[in-house]
Amino acid sequence: MLLIHCPWCGPRNESEFACGGEGHIQRPDPAMAHDEVWVDYLFYRRNPKALHLERWVHAQGCRRWFNVARNTLTHEIRAVYRMGEKPPEGVR
Amino acid sequence: MTSQPFRLPTGGRIDRSRRLAFTFNGQRYEGHPGDSLASALLANGVHLVGRSFKYHRPRGIMSAGIEETNALVRVGSGARIDPAQRATQIELYAGLAAESINCWPSLAFDLGSTIDRLGRFLPAGFYYKTFLWPGGRWMFYERFIRKAAGLGEAPREKDPDRYEKRFDHCDVLVVGGGPAGLAAAYAAGRAGARVVLADDQMEFGGQLLWREVRIDGGPALSWVTRAISEMEGMPDVRLLPHATVCGYYDHNFLTILERVTDHLSPAAAGGRMPRQRLWKLRAREVVLATGAIERPLVFDNNDLPGIMLAGAVQCYLLRYGARPGARAVIFTNNDSAYETAAALFDAKVPLAAIVDTRAEPVAAAAKLRQRGLNVLFGHAVVAAKGRKHLSAVTVAPLDEGGGGLAGPTREIACDLLCVSGGWSPAVHLFSQSGGRLEFDPVLGAFLPGAARQAMRSAGAAAGAFDLAACLAGGAAAGATAAQRCGFGDGQVRRAPGAAPTAAAPPRPLWEVPSPRSARRNRKFVDLQNDVTAADIALAAREGYTSVELAKRYTTAGMGLDQGKTGNINALAILASETAVAIPAVGTTTFRPPYVPMTFGALAGRDVDDLYEPVRKTPLTDWHAAAGAAFEPVGRWRRPMYYPRPGEDMAKAVERECRAVRDGVALCDASTLGKIDIQGPDAVKLLDRVYTNAWGSLAIGACRYGLMLREDGMVFDDGVTARLAEHHYLMTTTTGHADAVLSWLEEWRQCEWADLRVYLTAVTTHWAAIMLTGPKARAVLARVGTDIDIDRAAFRHMAVRQGTVAGLPARIFRVSFTGELTFEINVPASCALALWRILMIAGGDGEITPIGTEALHVLRAEKGYIAVGHDTDGTVTPADLGMGWIVSNAKADFIGKRSQSLADLARSDRRQFVGLLTDNPQEVLPEGAQIIEAPTGSSYGRPPVPMIGHVTSSYLSPTLDRSIALALIAGGHRRMGEVVAAALPGRAARAKIVSPRFYDPDGARLND
């Protein structure tokens, strides 16, 4: 049970959150994107055994989305930052 | 009445002034408060307590704690049967009734024990081998294997007890109340930290409860009493006896099973307190002082009753005042058993010999030799003798390597063999926490290595077996943990002290050589699962050399035991068979829970009505009173149909359908999802999430929309109305209400943060009553409304706000039935009043409440899709024949780009069509596979390609025949062609038609 620091509500149990998978995915311009680029955007995700930048939502709380930098092996959470922000210095 | 003939005259932590009567296998015995069931049985001379799992061999009490693998008993009766409890962990109470498990017809005469003689036909992996050979016989074997498998029998009645869950936080959680844990909790508590100390016994003290040692110059238990009473005075220290820490999860989240009233009889517990309480605890720092578990030694017949762990014998003598035998032998490879020898001497139990595998005499033996005890160094017990109890051991000198015998054997008569194969730190929780184990070749044990979480191990759990080291390590761990939480400076002010002792190193001896052939001897490694050294060797020979595979193949370390006693021995034997070092073999993964947990504790109060909340509309009670049959839709219970006396479902649905087509009906549509959308950019949001264009929607108008996922597949549909300049109300399907709101929020927050728009769920704020049928307008007029409901003024797909019967209302002219419909939304608190007014205005027997089933029939007659019923996440708008709703003019919307992917343009995609069976009374089962029409009535020669499936299927009262909707490969091009549905044993022919069976032009909608 991870302890996640919601940027809006503070530390809460993982069971209040939902993981939305990889974060910082750029949606390609649909008018310009070739099929390969579009399919990569649709279906391909990183699955590292290391630090991973994800987006989570505080589904049973404030319902806000935010970013989490989590080590998928140790479950260490290195940083939590708001939607639209870049990962902090030193993370990644 | 028996009088506890094997109870020592004095000593122990039992209250001799009170007697507790209990029964075991129907026989009446007595014990004292402070006894475990195991100690009370031993005090009464009862050793044979169970039969082993596979071979049904007689088994006795082996340990005095959590590691017990033999003495599994059933306690309680009726609904309170607990099928497999460890007798060593059951606190005795008056009236306790326990029985042996895994024996039939009785413990003393067990027919299953004939299996023991067939042992060589039941090797490791026998169960798996029956899958393969003899061919096809598995189904035959399974019946017998199932019957023989499992321990005990679960009660059939509902659990009458109450269980609780509790969430809590603390600075320092200390696991284990032995010397290290007490010292740690005390140090952390004095520093001011908020401490929880959990211990699985009835009283704190751990090993001090059964050892004659001194702390701070006095008896150890006096120190325990002082420490406990001081901690009870600390407001931020919580002491939890009867509490086993079962799971260590991420970020220092731990679960603790507290057995609140298990030590009381059901009558004494009285129902006021829960039976058990599951703690979910988040700790900033954790100190694991979980102690160590003594290992048995692996020799021939090492499972006979009368063979016990040396520490356990000491525990029965000193903690419980029970004498486990009349003439003892000790078999050890380390120093700790010499303390047991002293305890036996003090209890005046004759000690025939100490057999020590170590070749050189050790210092610990010197004192005992002065007492005249016979110590055989460099020797081993190579076999045990006896039928249902130990009668003698065979002893022989070991050769230098320990793999063979260096001299003749001789027999020593005894009825108690105290075995010590060394101690394994209880690293289970450490391992669960993600920490790395390291093998210590001197101790012959795995120790905690680098930790992954904010925790530390102390005492025997960290490999510090000496009491002085336990106390010092515990105090230091507690002080450091407190300091890391911001309390104190990490220094230990007043550490409890004990005289250090120097122990000679143990001599690891993983498998004792046997004079008997390998084929005939029985050296048990895992007593609980009847796994022998030969089984592990066989697994290795058959290629199961990985420790995880060997575990599953042989079942060593599975079941209740989870490798507490046998794990290291099994690993070492596997290492020796595969000629690698023990650390290279590694350990199996320790997983929660550390001890078996009851389902009741896991469920807590989330049972019965509290298991899952049921969502109700303001009209649910009215439906129930009207006799509706309900169906679950998500967490809602929606009326499915309203049977009248004598009606079955088909009759009721037919009547309800006819009411809509010919008269007027009411339907509770309150469960439809409603999302209030406001803001200047609301229309931009709609344009991006729906496939059609929204800019042209006038205030007071509604539009149907189809929502796709980014991969182009249909996700949801519904009608959205424009209520004001920047104000829209979106409706969703009942089942997707939450998912659609989450979806919109994700896009709004993550991708379109610039949009000035807000989304609010208002599903339960507004109740929705569907008034539908050709006579709907007349009923609405009778009820009274300030809205002009004239045909020309209020057209199909319009929305009006005003009052209905004096109640504030929004009326939507939308239709899911294909008939004239007013969907009247009123604040939830007004719904019941409006429903009743409409029922009265509709005329008795004329206006008909209808359920979801009639609604489904009516919409299917119209060919309207039901998302999630006719679609399954692989269906595009074009597949549904709904290309008309996909805007080509809009530059972008979710799912647009994917429409041009090659796979979505395939002409043989499954497409939405209607089906009319040749037999008009045949209602195809939903989900039936569609195949090409065969020439005969059977399917034809396999393989028969499946070209589609039935998604919806009903008997249509309007058409007086069956109708079906289906997804069929290239179906749009095949109108009029005949295909077939594959039914059990036959093929039912059906014609592909347009899905619009009724009023295809929609004339009735515009009525």
Q: Considering chain B, what is the average pLDDT of its residues?
A: 93
B395, part of any domain: yes
What range defines the domain where residue B398 resides? 296-421+503-515
B346, part of any domain: yes
A91, part of any domain: no
Is A81 an interface residue toward B (CB < 8 Å)? no
pLDDT over 60 at B149, yes or no: no
Torsion of CA A50, A56, A61, A63, to 10 degrees: 170
Per residue in B114-143, pLDDT (tens digit) is: 666 666 566 676 666 666 655 556 566 666
> Residue B424: which of B540, B328, B309, B302 has the closest Cα?
B309
B28, part of any domain: yes
Q: How far apart are CA B230 and CA B33, in angstroms?
A: 25
pLDDT over 60 at B382, yes or no: yes
Residue B753 to residue A63, Cβ atoms within 8 A: no
pLDDT band, residue B862 (cuts 50/70/90) = very high
Ramachandran quadrant class, B948 (left: phi over 0; alpha: psi -120 to 50; beta: rest): left
Instruction: Determine the pLDDT at residue B1.
Output: 45
B916 shares a domain with B964: yes
B523, part of any domain: no
B413 shares a domain with B313: yes
Are the CB atoms for B383 and B331 separated by under 8 Å?
Answer: no
Question: What DSSP letter does each residue of B97-161 carry, written as one string?
Answer: EEEE-S-SB-SSSBGGGHHHHTGGGS-TTHHHHHHHSSTT-HHHHHHHHHHH-SSS---SSPP-S
The domain that holds B354 is classified in CATH as: 3.50.50.60
**Predicted model pTM:** 0.90
How many other β-carbons are positioned within 10 Å of the β-carbon of residue B40? 28
Residue B943: asked if its preceding bond is cis (omega within 30°), the reply is yes
B92 shares a domain with B80: yes
B394, part of any domain: yes
Instruction: Determine the pLDDT at residue B105.
Output: 61
B302 shares a domain with B288: no
Structure tokens given for B93: 């109470």
**Residue B311 contacts by C-beta under 8 Å, 6 or more apart in sequence?**
B64, B210, B294, B336, B340, B420
pLDDT band, residue B369 (cuts 50/70/90) = confident
Q: What is the CA radius of gyration of chain A?
A: 14
Per residue in B976-985, pLDDT (tens digit) is: 999 999 999 8
A88, part of any domain: no
A92, part of any domain: no
Per residue in B706-743, pLDDT (tens digit) is: 999 999 999 999 999 999 999 999 999 999 999 999 99
As a whole number, mean pLDDT of residues B374-400 equals 95
pLDDT over 60 at A89, yes or no: yes
Is A68 an interface residue toward B (CB < 8 Å)? no
B842, part of any domain: no
**How would you classify the pairing of strands B243-249 and B72-75?**
unpaired
A87, part of any domain: no
**Residue B888 contacts by C-beta under 8 Å, 6 or more apart in sequence?**
none
What does each C-alpha distance from B196 to B104, B173, B283, B481 come to in angstroms? Answer: 45, 5, 9, 12
pLDDT over 90 at B501, yes or no: no
Q: Which residues of A touch B742 (CB under 8 A)?
A: 57, 59
Tokens 């939590």 belong to which residue? Answer: A80
Per residue in B686-703, pLDDT (tens digit) is: 999 999 999 999 999 999
B361 shares a domain with B245: no
Instruction: Determine the pLDDT at residue B981.
Output: 96
Instruction: Determine the pLDDT at residue B744.
Output: 98
B227 shares a domain with B194: yes
A90, part of any domain: no
Instruction: Determine the pLDDT at residue B126.
Output: 65
Q: Which of A4, A37, A64, A65 best probes binding to B when mutated, by most B CB atoms within 10 angstroms? A: A65
Residue A51 exposed, middle or buried by CB count within 10 Å (0-12, 13-18, 19+): middle
Q: What is the CA radius of gyration of chain B?
A: 38
User: B763: distance to nearest CA of chain A, Å?
Assistant: 17
Handedness of CA B227, B228, B231, B232 (dihedral sign): negative
pLDDT over 90 at B988, yes or no: yes
The total number of structural domains that make up chain B = 6
pLDDT band, residue B154 (cuts 50/70/90) = confident
Q: How far apart are CA B258 and CA B261, in angstroms?
A: 9
Q: Among B262-271, B336-345, B577-586, B967-976, where is mean pLDDT lowest? A: B262-271
pLDDT over 50 at B218, yes or no: yes
The domain that holds B733 is classified in CATH as: 3.30.70.1400
pLDDT over 70 at B73, yes or no: yes
B304 shares a domain with B193: no
Chain A residues 40-59 with a CB less than 8 Å from chain B: 42-43, 55, 57, 59
A13, part of any domain: yes
Is B760 an interface residue toward A (CB < 8 Å)? no
Q: How far apart are CA B858 and CA B815, in angstroms?
A: 10
Per residue in A43-84, pLDDT (tens digit) is: 999 999 999 999 999 999 999 999 999 999 999 999 999 999
As a whole number, mean pLDDT of residues B17-44 equals 96
Tell me the three-class secondary structure of chain A, residue by residue: CCEEEECCCEEEEHHHCEEEEECCCCCCCCCCCCHHHHHHHHHCCCCCCCEEEEEEECCCCCCCEEEEEEECCCCCEEEEEECCCCCCCCCC
Residue A84 to residue B745, Cβ atoms within 8 A: no
Nearest CB neighbour to A3, from listed B251, B742, B902: B251
Tokens 């004192």 belong to which residue? Answer: B367
What range defines the domain where residue A65 resides? 3-82
Instruction: Show which of B761, B778, B801 is a domain's final residue.
Output: B761
Q: How far apart are CA B949 and CA B990, in angstroms?
A: 12
User: With pLDDT > 70 as the criterion, what percentage of chain B qualifies?
Assistant: 95
Per residue in B245-256, pLDDT (tens digit) is: 999 999 999 999
> Residue B859: which of B770, B973, B769, B747 has the closest Cα?
B770
pLDDT over 60 at B150, yes or no: no
B507 shares a domain with B377: yes
Per residue in B866-892, pLDDT (tens digit) is: 999 999 999 999 999 999 999 999 999
Per residue in B944-964, pLDDT (tens digit) is: 999 999 999 999 999 999 999
**How would you classify the pairing of strands B986-993 and B978-983?**
antiparallel
Instruction: Determine the pLDDT at residue B516.
Output: 82
The domain that holds B90 is classified in CATH as: 3.10.20.440
B510 shares a domain with B369: yes
As a whole number, mean pLDDT of residues B838-859 equals 94
Number of residues in chain B: 1007
Residue B746 to residue A75, Cβ atoms within 8 A: no
pLDDT over 90 at B366, yes or no: no
The total number of structural domains that make up chain A = 1
**How would you classify the pairing of strands B276-288 and B253-259?**
antiparallel
Are the CB atoms for B394 and B383 separated by under 8 Å?
Answer: yes
Q: Which residues of B touch A75 (CB under 8 A)?
A: 250-251, 434
b/e code B871-880 from CB counts within 10 Å (16+ = b)? beeebbbbbb
Q: Which residues of B touch A2 (CB under 8 A)?
A: 250-251
pLDDT band, residue A86 (cuts 50/70/90) = very high
pLDDT over 80 at B938, yes or no: no
> Residue B721: which of B704, B742, B709, B734 has the closest Cα?
B704
Structure tokens given for B837: 């007014």
pLDDT band, residue B83 (cuts 50/70/90) = confident
B282 shares a domain with B364: no
Instruction: Show which of B58, B83, B116 is a domain's final residue.
Output: B116
Residue B593: asked if its preceding bond is cis (omega within 30°), the reply is yes
Per residue in A35-45, pLDDT (tens digit) is: 999 999 999 99
Instruction: Determine the pLDDT at residue B515.
Output: 85
Per residue in B450-473, pLDDT (tens digit) is: 999 999 999 999 999 999 999 999
Q: Which residues of B touch A15 (CB under 8 A)?
A: none
